[in-house]
């Protein structure tokens, strides 16, 4: 069909954007993605559902084990090609990261394994993200179908296809939705199921097959995320007020519109189903598909949602319900993070983009205001189908804020209703965008913003702090082997070093070290670099964390290659002679130094420092 061409192109563009965002966003740099990924790796490794428990007990998947499993089960095949010992991911958190403020943007550590070429586990992580991207693409398609069906039933508007395409574009080119769809998450799948429900509700007569299909989709949503409970009253409202089994119009654009395009409206499936029976069929289908999860929770935790165990393990800053400023900040954060606030809600888009989306919203509201003053009863009868899901989603966010606090005000929590929100925006904007070319210009503009943000905002926020193995292999310097660790651990090794500058009085030299991590470090060691004379007196020194703390040693994992630089200012009055250049690790909290080994014998330390070289200082 000719009308499917632009939709196919839009879906292809959306998937291309997902790849771009996937590449730009390091693993773990999205809301709760480390926990979601841990869930997927756990399923692949253990072959069973995780169980959560209150502290001091450690849950199988801390932070995310309470979620229903469907999205994670769908992503698990992306990790099954890994050997069983590799079906895990050691991802150190960044203790200097905070949700709001803080001196570092990254929530987790990003080591050499993430440099190209990626290691197998990073490949599995990024492939698992592709499942969310496919779910996001389904959301785009169902949004198009829902709005096209809705426009037909409302008023047979001549621009119904353009309005449907615009609604789909408002989903596909929403930067935040693309971002979420390029992460390991359950949000994109829930958005797809919400869009499918909207399509079924606005286009389906109340027949037995449709009621059963709606029940199946609702059941799948209920085992995707607990916020799918907002769909239950929406479905029950359809059961009470849905179509009476009458066929849809054959034409949306006039007597010859669909016939000319070859688009015949689908015939009704089955006779009209009485209201009580429609509800029973839909609820029964949902319970058959998804009810087992809530029964499992009841048996394990004593309540169907597992809220007690969740609350015991998850606390955050409380929301000040009586503070108007807190409400203003929360709603602002909700608006911005619906459109473009990346990372862990700590990487905002430029102000001008928020202004552009605010203008888009204002134009849509003005269009709806004009629509509602017209004597169009069909619009007024159908508006509940679009308004219901956004209202229910907002009610869920408010209740979630009551449960967990300030962190609940995230735009992605509106994504179960993103198809309905996009439909509302598109129908409002269609009042002003009466020509197809104006719709296409708006779509092109949104696509430009969506493609620009990952390159200009996301990627620069996470500069690499490590070297790839190939770059480390090409690193120029003097070979050495200096391992610093406790006697029971592999630790980290200096593999090469070089000095830049001339060793003479009054000069400044720079020492570059190439570190190789053999294991996780147990603390944030500092490096001491001492230039000492024959009497072991320090004449020049530089004591600091590797990379000035941008990549603390507690975040290093096995395989990391780290270049660290240190500066030595040689005193202008330093007498000529031989001076030893000593390097070691020390803990500023305790003053303890790490043991030094010149080989792999973990039981034979050679001191607490290495003498890299002896510098001969001559006269000026």
- Are 309 and 53 in contact by the 8 Å Cβ rule? The answer is yes
Residues 453, 473, single domain; the answer is no
Residues in the chain: 620
Whichever domain contains 489, its CATH number is 2.70.50.60
Q: What is the pLDDT of residue 448?
A: 97
CB 282 within 8 A of CB 271: no
**Does 249 fall in a domain?**
yes
d(CA 397, CA 513) in angstroms, rounded, equals: 50
pLDDT at 288: 95
pLDDT of amino acid 435 = 82
State residue 1's pLDDT score. Answer: 43
Domain residue limits at 603: 469-617
Regarding whether 457 and 502 lie in a shared domain, the answer is no
Choose among 79, 38, 31: nearest CA to 60: 38
Does 231 fall in a domain?
yes
Q: What is the mean pLDDT of each run of 10 residues along the chain (620 residues)?
A: 81 98 96 95 96 81 90 98 93 78 80 93 97 98 91 51 93 98 98 96 81 95 95 89 45 40 43 73 93 93 78 67 86 95 93 96 91 59 82 92 82 96 92 87 96 97 94 95 84 95 92 94 91 94 92 91 96 93 94 88 81 87
Question: Per-residue b/e over 231-252, b at no fewer than 16 CB within 10 Å?
Answer: bbebbbebbeebbebeebeebb
Pair (424, 543) in one structural domain: no
- The per-residue pLDDT for 434 is 78
The pLDDT value given to residue 226: 92
Q: What is the pLDDT of residue 156?
A: 40
Q: Are residues 427 and 484 in the same domain?
A: no
- 387 and 517 in one domain? no
Q: Are residues 370 and 507 in the same domain?
A: no
149 CB-side CA count, 13 A = 26
Within-domain flag for 533? yes
> Are the beta carbons of 29 and 462 closer than 8 angstroms?
yes
Gap between the Cα atoms of 68 and 224, Å rounded: 5
Residues 235, 371, single domain; the answer is: yes
Residue 309 has a pLDDT of: 67
Domain presence at residue 150: yes
If asked whether residues 149 and 239 sit together in one domain, one would say yes
The C-alpha atoms of residue 356 and residue 382 are separated, in whole angstroms, by 29
Q: Which of 461, 477, 496 is the last residue of a domain?
A: 461
Q: Same structural domain for residues 179 and 207?
A: yes
Choose the final residue of a domain: 427, 461, 495.
461
Tell me how far apart the alpha carbons of residues 193 and 183 are, in angstroms, rounded to a whole number. 17
Residue 502 maps to a domain: yes
Tokens of 227: 């916020």
Same domain, 311 and 425: yes
- Looking at the domain assignment, is residue 70 inside a domain? no
User: In terms of domains, do 514 and 571 share one?
Assistant: yes
- Pair 511, 447 in one domain: no
Residue 381 pLDDT: 60
Residues sharing a CB contact under 8 Å with residue 444, sequence separation 6 or more, in sequence order = none
Do residues 302 and 237 lie in contact, with contact meaning Cβ atoms separated by under 8 Å? no
Exposure of 100 in the CB half-sphere (CA atoms within 13 A): 8
Number of domains in the chain: 2
- pLDDT value at position 4? 84
Ramachandran bin of 258, using left for φ above 0, alpha for ψ from -120 to 50, beta for the remaining angles = alpha
Asked if residue 110 is part of any domain, the answer here is no
Domain final position from 436, 461, 486: 461
Q: With a threshold of 0.85, does the pTM exceed it?
A: yes
**The pLDDT value given to residue 363:** 95
- pLDDT at 248 (0 to 100): 39
Residues whose CB falls within 8 Å of the CB of residue 72, separated by 6 or more in sequence, listed in order: 36, 39, 40, 43, 186
Q: Is residue 340 part of a domain?
A: yes
Q: Residue holding tokens 């169980």?
A: 51
Bridge partners, residue 509, by sequence: 568
């Amino acid at each position: 069909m000719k009308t499917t061409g632009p939709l196919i192109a839009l879906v292809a563009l959306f998937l291309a954007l997902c790849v771009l965002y996937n590449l730009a966003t390091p693993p773990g740099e999205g809301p709760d993605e480390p926990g979601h990924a841990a869930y997927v790796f756990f399923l692949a490794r253990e072959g069973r559902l995780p169980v959560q428990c209150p502290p001091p007990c450690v849950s199988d998947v801390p932070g995310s084990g309470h979620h229903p499993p469907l999205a994670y089960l769908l992503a698990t095949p992306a990790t099954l090609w890994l050997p069983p010992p590799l079906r895990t991911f050691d991802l150190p958190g960044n203790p200097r990261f905070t949700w709001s403020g803080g001196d570092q943007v990254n929530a987790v550590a990003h080591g050499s394994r993430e440099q190209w070429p990626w290691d197998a586990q990073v490949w599995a992580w990024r492939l698992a993200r592709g499942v969310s991207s496919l779910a996001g693409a389904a959301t785009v398609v169902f949004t198009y179908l829902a709005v096209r069906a809705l426009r037909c039933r409302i008023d047979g508007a001549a621009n119904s296809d353009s309005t449907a395409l615009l609604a789909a574009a408002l989903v596909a080119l929403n930067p935040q939705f693309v971002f979420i769809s390029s992460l390991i998450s359950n949000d994109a799948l829930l958005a797809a199921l919400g869009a499918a429900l909207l399509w079924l509700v606005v286009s389906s007569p109340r027949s037995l097959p449709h009621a059963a299909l709606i029940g199946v989709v609702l059941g799948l949503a209920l085992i995707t995320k607990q916020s799918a409970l907002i769909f239950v009253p929406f479905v029950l409202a359809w059961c009470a007020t849905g179509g009476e089994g009458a066929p849809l119009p054959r034409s949306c654009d006039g007597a010859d519109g669909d016939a000319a395009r070859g688009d015949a409206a689908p015939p009704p499936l089955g006779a009209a189903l009485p209201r009580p029976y429609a509800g029973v069929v839909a609820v029964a289908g949902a319970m058959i598909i998804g009810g087992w999860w809530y029964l499992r929770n009841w048996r394990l935790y004593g309540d169907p949602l597992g809220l007690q165990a969740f609350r015991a393990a998850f606390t955050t800053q409380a929301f000040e319900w009586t503070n108007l400023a807190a409400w203003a900040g929360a709603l602002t954060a909700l608006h911005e993070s619906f459109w473009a606030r990346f990372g862990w809600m700590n990487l905002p888009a430029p102000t001008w983009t928020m202004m552009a989306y605010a203008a888009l919203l204002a134009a849509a509201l003005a269009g709806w205001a004009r629509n509602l003053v017209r004597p169009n009863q069909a619009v007024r009868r159908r508006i509940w189908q679009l308004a219901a899901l956004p209202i229910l989603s907002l009610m869920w966010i408010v209740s979630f804020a009551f449960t967990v606090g300030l962190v609940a005000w995230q735009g992605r929590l509106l994504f179960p209703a993103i198809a309905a929100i996009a439909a509302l925006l598109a129908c409002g904007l269609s009042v002003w965008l009466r020509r197809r070319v104006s719709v296409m210009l708006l779509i092109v503009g949104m696509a430009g913003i969506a493609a620009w943000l990952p390159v200009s905002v996301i990627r620069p926020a996470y500069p690499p702090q490590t070297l790839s193995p190939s770059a480390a292999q090409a690193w120029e310097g003097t070979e050495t082997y200096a391992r610093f660790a406790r006697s029971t651990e592999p630790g980290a090794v200096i593999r090469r070093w070089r000095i830049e500058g001339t060793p003479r009085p009054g000069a400044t030299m720079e020492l570059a070290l190439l570190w190789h991590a053999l294991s996780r470090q147990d603390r944030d060691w500092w490096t001491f670099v001492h230039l000492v004379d024959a009497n072991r007196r320090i004449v020049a020194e530089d004591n600091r964390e590797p990379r000035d703390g941008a990549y603390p040693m507690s975040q290093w994992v096995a395989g990391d290659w780290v270049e660290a630089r240190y500066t030595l200012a040689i005193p202008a009055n330093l007498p000529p002679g031989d001076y030893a250049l000593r390097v070691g690790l020390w803990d500023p909290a305790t003053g303890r130094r790490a043991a030094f080994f010149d080989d792999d014998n973990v039981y034979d330390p050679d001191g607490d420092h290495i003498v890299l070289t002896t510098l001969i200082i001559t006269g000026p």
